[in-house]
Structure 1
Amino acid sequence: MSTPPAVLPHRDAVKAALEAGGLTVGLGGAPPTAPPNGTTTEYVALYVAPGRSVPESLADARLDFDTVFQVTCVGKTEERCLWVADKARRALHGTLTVDGRRAWRPEELGGPPVQRDDDVSPPLYFVPVQYRLMSTPA
């Protein structure tokens, strides 16, 4: 009998792909190297939903997995913020490697326009981009 899908291996696969793309990644928020404690002003904050196990057939074996995640891209200017978004898009363009699973290529769902965060000094620009990720047992 197969085990139900877990969210953490999927989160780790997304994080690994972003880091392999040359990005600094914070889980559930800014990385420790971001202001006010650090100086990294170009990074992504990764937020992952718990997802859901989905039946693969009428037999109701809930082994397929479906989730959404958000990559909030941050930069010191609007241009650098969009540059980070482009790097994230390239990093997530291929199929992810999730242990024991066959993952589909992440589907980009989009996001709002770039926004300026005046609550930090100096201000930073950010844009959240959402993706859908699905996988099946290997």
Structure 2
Amino acid sequence: MDAVHAALTGAGLVVGLGGAPAPVPASQIYVALHVAPGTVGRESLADARTDFELVFQVTCVGPTQEKCLWAAQRTRSALHGPVVVAGRTAWRPEELGGPPVQRDDDVSPPLYFLPVQYRLRTTA
């Protein structure tokens, strides 16, 4: 989670963990990082459990559909290369996709959001 957070903030995105950041930036453009607990797997028949797989979601938010898509593209660029996980080798995050951009009319003014899921695999 820390490595993904660092990659996103390094790309100039404002990141909230599990929801909107506090405070929400004046531009209303941000991403919310949601992380599942992940799974540990065996690397060999010797039962060495050093492989780890994590699914996470980056929900991109903006005041217009275009700005929401801008945040999504910035997220893709930030996660295009391998993320740095201390003491581990990490593959490049795999984008799993998500639904189309949606408008949230439950907030005023309305915001647009796009949840995109990724999978990250690492080994020791």
TM-score normalised by length of structure 2:
0.97
- Per-residue deviation at 1:39? 2.9
Q: 2:20 aligns with which of 27, 30, 46?
A: 30
Aligned pairs (5 A) from 1:20-59: 20-34=10-24, 39-59=26-46
Q: Number of residue pairs matched?
A: 124
Show the counterpart of 1:4. none
Name the CA distance, whole Å, in 1 between partners of 2:27 and 2:47.
47
Name the CA distance, whole Å, in 2 between partners of 1:133 and 1:120.
32
Show the counterpart of 1:69. 56
* Paired letter, 1:114: V
Name the CA distance, whole Å, in 2 between partners of 1:41 and 1:115.
15
Task: Work out whether residues 33 and 40 of structure 1, in 8 Å CA contact, stay in contact via their aligned partners in 2.
Answer: no
Structure 2: tracts of 5 or more residues without a match: none
Structure 1: tracts of 5 or more residues without a match: 1-10
Show the counterpart of 2:80. 93
TM-score normalised by length of structure 1:
0.88
Deviations 1:27-75 (A, max 9, x none): 00000022xxx63410000001110110000111111001100000000
Show the counterpart of 2:90. 103
Name the CA distance, whole Å, in 1 between partners of 2:46 and 2:37.
23
